[in-house]
Structure 1
Amino acid sequence: MQIKWLNRALLNLKHEAEYIAQHDPAAARIVVQRIYAVVNQLVDHPALGRPGRIHGTHELIIPDTHYLIPYRVRPRLKQIEILCVFHTSRRLPKNW
């Protein structure tokens, strides 16, 4: 399996990092590194996340942060699609 970040997910990550960096650039780097490190574990463990609240998805919790990464496993394409980077203080959308 390979990881495919949707453009929206990359944009979410960029915006979150920019927001955190306004207050603490080092913390922004740590959060981004942590997100990438945990997401990369999906390559070997695609079922690592819990079943998603939105049908057909999984949710990967990023430890020691308030971030959740919804993703979809595409077995035929041998891909894991990262749908977005979601801060848990926000209201859950109806779809990713």
Structure 2
Amino acid sequence: MRLRYTGPALAELISILDYIAEQSPHGAQRVQARIKAAINLLQSHPQIGGRTDDPTIRRLLTTPYRYLVFYEIRMDEIIIHAVRHASRDPETPTRSE
């Protein structure tokens, strides 16, 4: 399966990494590697994330850093809709493409 990020998801991820890099460049590299590994795992195990209130959106926690990846499984691709810290509003994000 191929991965596709929506514009808002990419913007959120960049914002997260920029914020962390201000405090700790090495920390940002670790967080980025963990989020990337979790998202790449979706290609072989797309059902690994938990269900949300929206039946088309699933949620994956990127432990130990507590970032949530909201995604949708389609026939030939996985669409990443949002990436945000678990302490933020946990509601399912609106799908945007």
**Structure 1 length-normalised TM:** 0.90
- Give the percent of matched residue pairs that are identical in Structure 1 and Structure 2: 31
Shift of 1:6: 1.0
> 1:81: which partner in 2?
79
Query: Residue 15 of structure 1: SS of its match in structure 2?
Result: helix
Query: Residue 65 of structure 1: SS of its match in structure 2?
Result: coil
- List 4+ stretches of structure 1 deviating above 2 A: 92-96
- Cα distance in 2, alignment partners of residues 69 and 48 from structure 1: 11
* TM-aligned CA distance change 1:80 to 1:15, over 3 Å: same
The answer for unaligned runs of 5 or more in structure 2 is none
The count of corresponding residues between Structure 1 and Structure 2 is: 94
Query: Residue 47 of structure 1: SS of its match in structure 2?
Result: helix
Query: Residue 56 of structure 2: SS of its match in structure 1?
Result: coil
> 2:88: which partner in 1?
90
- Cα distance in 2, alignment partners of residues 93 and 40 from structure 1: 23
Shift of 1:73: 0.4
The answer for unaligned runs of 5 or more in structure 1 is none
Preserved CA contact (<8 Å) 2:70 2:93? no
Query: Residue 85 of structure 1: SS of its match in structure 2?
Result: strand
> 1:12: which partner in 2?
12
Shift of 1:65: 0.8
**Structure 2 length-normalised TM:** 0.89
